[in-house]
Structure 1
Amino acid sequence: MGNSFVKGAIIITIATFVSKLLGSAFRIPLQNIAGDEVFGLFNAVYPVYMIALILSVAGIPIAISKLISEQRAKNDEQAIHEIFASASIIGLIFGFVSFLFMFIFSEVIATAIGMSSTRLAVAVVSSTLILAPYMAVYRGFFQGYEDMRPTAVSQVLEQFVRVTLVLVIAYILVLQNHESEIIAGWIMLSSIAGVTVSLIYLRFKYSRFIKSVPAYQKLTWDKFRSWSSVILRLSLPVAFGALNMALLNMIDSLTIPHALKWYGYEGSAVTEQFSIYSRGLTLVQIAVVFSSAVILPLIPKISKATTENNWNEANNYIGRSLKLAHLISWPAAVGLLALTLPLNLALFTDLEGSHVLAVLHFSSLFTSFTVLTTGILQGLNRANVAAIIILMSAVLKAILNLWLIPSYDLIGAAWATLIVYIVITVLNVIFILTVTKYPLNNYGKLIMMVSSVIMGVCLVLPLKWINIEEWTRIDAVIYTLIAVPIGGIVYSIIVLGGKGLQTDELRGIPVLGPILCKILKLR
């Protein structure tokens, strides 16, 4: 069972990484194909949809998998059937109610966003909520049997279909010269298609699985009421705990357009400015995906050590995870900051809003720390604390957006983002320290910070003697492709030469560690 659990954890980690990478990276070609206005409309609507999706879906697989796993230990197949049937009904009810709410109030939501042209996109994407919670039930079922492959495949399949259709639909509608509002609305059909294909796959796997299972008694009302209360009690806290970045992104959707209007922008200019802001968030999300893929696999180990009251081991894993966060997040943030100009030109075809992107790029450092430290708090059974911090930070984000943007233009939103993620990181660390004492090892972290700064100087210095405004997009791509590996080499030499990372710590990095040790011939 131990080996299957480890193998399942690896499978789901890889699948989550791939699906999140697809879900972040596709925004770059979308902006290239459809332009800033469509890109802005898409990014304004999607966080609102994600909040509804998370509240409807996030906790269901975890709740069902836990309950099914418990009943499997008792060999109670009838109870497993009742859990699955009850969860299916809950999923369908949640999905239909969420859809109705978002569809009926699509105009109200569009007004709240501050862009009336988002109404069609809100209405179209709301239909995804009909099937998504029901699909999540199947994922939870297979996870309860410790089979992570259906969940992993369905995640990647869903994202692949969604991303592909977004780009294809956008390309076709742009060729046909449709208005931005129409394009933004129709590309939301991709979310419906992604969930539908994923559900068909999971249903097929389920139908093959249950062929060997005996017939069950029908689900009674009393059994449904009993199991549904248990499922909801387990799933709702998980759903609220999963809001995290999605909640802050929704706050941006609900406040930035209004604040931009107060500054003086009107009509499509508001959407275009929001699109520029979204450029920076796209690269931040990609950076966070990469850092999370390496760091977050340590969180279940922290949770396990905490459950067993093995605080020495928990302290060790917390110290390792935070050191890895410094190792990866510092060079990623400083590298993005140093390469803001060529990256903006290479990925988004122009230099618009580069000063805004620069601040957002550096905020990726604290965004990564936020994701990690929130995960640590959850691993320490302090999910309620993490949720309260996120909710308070969402209020702070709204206040800062509405205060800074009318005074300082779009750069105010970027500074608000940086400030909020610094606040979350600091509060999370304070609460982690109240529960456990982890090794600080400040020397290694200092070496990583200094190495990142030196690397950043090496990357940005040549740009002082180059007029990047005369560059073509190809020039920017070439410079970036050359600069990134050079920056990585400079950073690695200084960190390893300065003993900022010990050999056993390097080997302990999930997936990459053993590979790097072999390449560097370290024992």
Structure 2
Amino acid sequence: MQRKTMKTVMQGALLLSVASLIAKILSAVYRVPFQNMVGNTGFYVYQQIYPIYGIGMTFALSGLPMFISKLVAESETAQTKLALLSRIFVLLAGFSLLLFLGLQGLAVPIASGMGDPGLAPIIRAVSWMFLFSPFLAISRGYFQGEYDMRPTALSQLVEQTVRVTVILVVAYWAMKHQWNVYRMGTWTMSSAAIAAVFASAVMLYYVRHQHVKFIAAIHQPVDQTYSSLVKRLLIEGGTISLFASMMVLLQLVDSFTVMRGLMIQGLPSLTAKSIKGVYDRGQPLVQLGLVVATSFSSSLLPSLTEALNRGNHRQFVRQANTVVRISVAIATAAAVGLVALMPEVNVLLFGNQQGTGMLSVYVLSIIFATLIMIDNSILQSLNQFAVTIAGLTIGLLVKVVFNQWAVVHFGAIGASWITVVALLVMAGFLRQQLRKEQLRAFKRGFLLKLVLIAVIMLISVRLVIPVGSWLTAAWTPRMAALVEAVLGILVGVIVFMYLALKFKLLTLREWLLLPQADRWLRWFKK
């Protein structure tokens, strides 16, 4: 019976991971055709408000359901589960209603704070999604707590598919009928509420099919009071949700400071909006880089909890250090590879080389964001919630305090550097805390080897690009960029892997933890 339960849990976790991966890729990829259709200014309008959607989405999709599933798993009887969920629903409904009313009523001051009062209707459009968040969080959390990941996985895929479809259809329609960027932005942000309706319909089907009655259990007695639930929601649920939306929080700071900083610098409003739109190109690139970097390591993280549950601290330390080294190696390869190919990637995806410098700096975020996510998972498995919140707060303070100053003095590239510095500070703080737990992942010259390998890879990629340019001299810029990028990726992967094996960056045991490692390791050995 226990084996069957464990098998169900693992299958469910795999299903949810695959659905989450597909949704993340969808969420990153659609922005390329979207930007191509609406241009830099249209992309700026959308991206200014996107962080509000991103934070709400994280709470409803991953942060709160994960916390609620923990409460469900802790409850002993079905009645206790439902009674507990009904109280959490009341709390979340009250909070979501206040958030909705606040965004509706304060849309103009918020838009003015971003330096563009024209954004107010778009803020009001995105606020409607928060009305669906309580039901989505509760229902997803309930089924995850019952080890049934299908409803969450399906609703997640439906939600992202509907949202991306609406956004691209609206962008095409706006381009065809020459809508102004604010009207286009309002309709594209309405996709959040439309997608939430479809996701809620999926969850409602499962709730009715399983005869789950949240509201009927509201008068049932439970051990936890409303005040204790609020405390747990803020500390445990808040920690999970805030770290899941870490990059979006940094983007929210950008929404309030980059545009204003450029205008303080003396740029006209239209020019500042265009530059901010170019700066925002970095976000889908970082998002894709994080998907690549964290997808390999996420499969290794459950073994950490297992080692802790067995009381095997030595195994926990060894596995945690392994996860960190593998994740940072892959993230560095992805980030430096993007830096090396940024001129070609920029032309391929966005049609020109505008902002190549600031995008090259911005994608370095992949390295530190990956390290933070892994360290956060390790610290949370040790129940170190206060430490992770402190690290996040310090990093956000760096971004808030210095971002606008950096933009005024150095232009938009200043915001890129401050993002990287904020993440570096956050990562350094979390690393310091982990050293107290004897978790020292970077030793025996690991970082020096990694930097050396990355620099040689970057130089190798740039040296081979002229070959691609010569082969595609008569082609269109985008087709030429595609060939050059593919050639650069092939050379980058071969050089990085060859040097990583030669310098023994990772042990053989660590290499073999990666998917299909035995096959491609044999090829490289030849």
Asked whether the two chains share a fold, i.e. TM above 0.5, the reply is: yes
Could you tell me how far 1:344 is from its partner in structure 2?
A: 0.6
Letter in 1 for 2:236: V
1-side partners of 2:369 and 2:101: how far apart?
33
- 2:243 is aligned with 1:238: no
Greater alpha carbon shift after TM alignment, 143-152 vs 454-463: 454-463
2-side partners of 1:367 and 1:418: how far apart?
9
Q: 1:23 aligns with which of 24, 27, 43?
A: 27
Q: Which residue number corresponds to residue 128 of structure 1?
A: 129
- 2:444 is aligned with 1:442: yes
2-side partners of 1:51 and 1:294: how far apart?
24
2-side partners of 1:167 and 1:216: how far apart?
36
Could you tell me how far 1:167 is from its partner in structure 2?
A: 0.8
- 2:62 is aligned with 1:61: no
- 2:22 is aligned with 1:12: no
Q: 1:318 aligns with which of 296, 317, 320?
A: 320
Q: 1:352 aligns with which of 354, 358, 365?
A: 354
2:61–2:156: 8 Å Cα contact kept in structure 1? no
2-side partners of 1:239 and 1:252: how far apart?
25
1:259–1:405: 8 Å Cα contact kept in structure 2? yes
Q: 1:499 to 1:60 in 2, by over 3 A?
A: closer
Letter in 2 for 1:497: K
Q: TM-score, normalised by structure 1?
A: 0.91
Q: 1:388 aligns with which of 387, 390, 405?
A: 390
Q: TM-score, normalised by structure 2?
A: 0.90
1:256–1:274: 8 Å Cα contact kept in structure 2? yes
Q: 1:469 to 1:32 in 2, by over 3 A?
A: farther
Could you tell me how far 1:218 is from its partner in structure 2?
A: 4.4
Q: Which residue number corresponds to residue 376 of structure 1?
A: 378
CA deviation map 1:468-511 (0-9, x unaligned): 999612211221122212211222222223333333212213xx
Q: Which residue number corresponds to residue 153 of structure 1?
A: 154
Could you tell me how far 1:34 is from its partner in structure 2?
A: 1.0
Q: 1:50 aligns with which of 44, 54, 65?
A: 54
2-side partners of 1:445 and 1:10: how far apart?
32
Structure 2 unmatched ranges of 5 or more: none
Q: 1:27 to 1:442 in 2, by over 3 A?
A: farther
CA deviation map 1:310-353 (0-9, x unaligned): 32122112211111123201111110111010011111111111
Greater alpha carbon shift after TM alignment, 459-468 vs 369-378: 459-468
Q: 1:249 aligns with which of 251, 264, 267?
A: 251
Q: Which residue number corresponds to residue 294 of structure 2?
A: 292
Provide the aligned C-alpha RMSD in A.
2.6
Q: 1:217 to 1:319 in 2, by over 3 A?
A: closer
Q: Which residue number corresponds to residue 119 of structure 1?
A: 120
Q: 1:117 to 1:333 in 2, by over 3 A?
A: same
Greater alpha carbon shift after TM alignment, 230-239 vs 250-259: 230-239
1-side partners of 2:220 and 2:260: how far apart?
49
Q: 1:217 to 1:445 in 2, by over 3 A?
A: closer
Letter in 1 for 2:206: K
2:83–2:219: 8 Å Cα contact kept in structure 1? no
Q: 1:385 to 1:161 in 2, by over 3 A?
A: same
Moved over 6 A (4+): 467-471
Greater alpha carbon shift after TM alignment, 144-153 vs 123-132: 144-153
- 2:402 is aligned with 1:410: no
Q: How many residues align?
A: 513
Q: 1:454 to 1:231 in 2, by over 3 A?
A: same
Structure 1 unmatched ranges of 5 or more: none
Letter in 1 for 2:276: F
State percent identity of aligned pairs: 25
2-side partners of 1:433 and 1:27: how far apart?
39
- 2:89 is aligned with 1:85: no
1-side partners of 2:46 and 2:437: how far apart?
41
CA deviation map 1:199-222 (0-9, x unaligned): 111111121112xx8x99944557
How do 1:144-293 residues align onto structure 2 when only pairs under 5 Å count? 144-210=145-211, 218-219=216-217, 221=219, 223=221, 226=224, 228-241=226-239, 242-243=241-242, 244-293=246-295
1-side partners of 2:152 and 2:374: how far apart?
23
2:52–2:252: 8 Å Cα contact kept in structure 1? yes
2:465–2:487: 8 Å Cα contact kept in structure 1? no
